[in-house]
């Protein structure tokens, strides 16, 4: 395994992060525990979860993923071996069953305390805002809709104050963003610069993969100049970059088959690009999934690459990508495809 650090801290984390969003829906508790056992044995010491998981979110399954992780901590005693990240859900349809009060002080405190109880731990190493409260573009929205109704009042100072107090209490160690834009990222960073008693956002968890490299537009410069590390999620684009959906009959238990609304990586341009990436991998004797993950691993703004799997076979392949070195020829081939079909799946 290769390791990095959460920026501005001494916390050493694996460059491969174990994602958990399928646990409790596509994977049962035994599956989840087997994945954590294997990942830890392979040197993966960074796990990412959220109160929203598993997804697609359902009221009856609220926060089950955190419960499964907490049960594993209790069973194994491995809490001190893991750098643990979780998230508070933002407002909106996907989280109506959780709360409707956004990132108010009471909401954040309640969310943290709920996660701590379910995770059976006294602290969370990295606590993230899952998506913004305000109207902006995330979750597949290509551009910002300036005409959309937005009743959000700028509460960033108050959010950081609440997080500061939770850090002081020892319930969380550091904080980060997720699904955030360049404006939002800089707004949080500047607030903590002007008011130095407020905590600094250390990481940003956004989508990044061969079909969606929009992080490179604006956010990559912020990431590198401000040292806010990318935790790349969906590095395989809901599994499409494994090539498994390029068959006439889609795999029966795969995510996009089970949940057709998870289709942002399945439009015509995305499929065309995926076919070209599959051919490139084949020409160079590479697993397509490992090529896609290894590309993400090479990015200078990456702090950790969040992989997920519904089978042990997938998990082993995904973790193994850390040992794959891409040749200059492969990297040049990737850029040729990207230039021809740039960011088909925002």
Distance, in Å, from the CA atom of 33 to the CA atom of 68, rounded to the nearest integer, reads: 8
Cα→Cα distances 266→56, 84, 263, Å: 17, 31, 5
Q: How does 166-187 read in b/e, with b if 16+ C-beta sit within 10 Å?
A: bbeeebbbbbbbbbbbeebbbb
As a whole number of angstroms, the distance between CA 54 and CA 26 comes to: 8
Q: How far apart are CA 87 and CA 89, in angstroms?
A: 6
- The torsion of the CA quartet 16, 267, 253, 15, rounded to 10 degrees, works out to 0
3-class state of residue 336 by DSSP: helix
Distance CA 342, CA 272 (A): 11
Active-site position among 3, 53, 262, 277? 53
Q: Is 144 a catalytic residue?
A: no
| 19, β-bridge pairs | 48
Cα atoms found within 13 Å of the Cα of residue 30, Cβ hemisphere only: 0
> 54 CB contacts (<8 Å, ≥6 apart)?
21, 22, 23, 24, 25, 26, 61, 64, 65
Residue carrying the six token digits 């397509």: 288
Q: How far apart are CA 2 and CA 130, in angstroms?
A: 26
| Contact residues for 215 (Cβ-Cβ < 8 A; gap 6+) | 206, 207, 208, 223, 230, 232, 301
Euclidean distance between CA atoms 294 and 274, whole angstroms: 16
- Positions marked catalytic: 53
């Amino acid at each position: 395994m290769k390791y990095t650090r959460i920026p501005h801290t001494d916390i050493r984390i694996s460059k491969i992060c174990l994602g958990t969003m399928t646990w409790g829906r596509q994977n049962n508790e035994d599956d989840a525990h087997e994945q954590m056992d294997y990942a830890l044995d392979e040197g993966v010491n960074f796990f990412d979860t959220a109160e929203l998981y598993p997804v697609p979110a359902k009221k009856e399954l609220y926060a089950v993923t955190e419960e499964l992780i907490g049960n594993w901590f209790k069973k194994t005693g491995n809490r001190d071996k893991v750098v643990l990240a979780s998230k508070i859900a933002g407002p909106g349809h996907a989280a109506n069953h959780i709360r409707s009060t956004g990132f108010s002080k009471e909401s954040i405190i309640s969310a943290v305390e709920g996660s701590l109880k379910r995770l059976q731990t006294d602290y969370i190493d990295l606590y993230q805002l899952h998506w913004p409260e305000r109207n902006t573009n995330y979750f597949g929205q290509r551009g910002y809709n300036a005409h959309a109704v937005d009743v959000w009042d700028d509460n960033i100072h108050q959010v950081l104050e609440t997080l500061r107090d939770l850090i002081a209490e020892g319930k969380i160690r550091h904080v980060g963003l997720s699904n955030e834009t360049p404006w939002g990222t800089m707004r949080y960073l500047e607030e903590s610069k002007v008011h130095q008693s407020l905590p600094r956002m250390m990481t940003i968890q956004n989508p990044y993969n061969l079909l969606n490299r929009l992080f490179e537009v604006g956010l990559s410069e912020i990431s590198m100049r401000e040292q806010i590390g990318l935790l790349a999620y969906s590095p395989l684009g809901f599994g499409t970059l494994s090539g498994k959906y390029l068959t006439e009959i889609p795999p029966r238990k795969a995510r996009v088959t089970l949940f057709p609304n998870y289709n942002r990586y399945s439009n015509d341009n995305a499929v065309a690009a995926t076919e070209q990436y599959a051919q490139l991998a084949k020409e160079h004797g590479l697993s397509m999934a490992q090529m896609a993950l290894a590309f993400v691993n090479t990015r200078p703004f990456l702090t950790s690459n969040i992989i997920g799997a519904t089978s042990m076979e997938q998990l082993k392949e995904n973790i193994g990508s850390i040992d794959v070195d891409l040749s200059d020829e492969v990297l040049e081939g990737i850029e040729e495809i990207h230039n021809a079909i740039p960011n088909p799946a925002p």
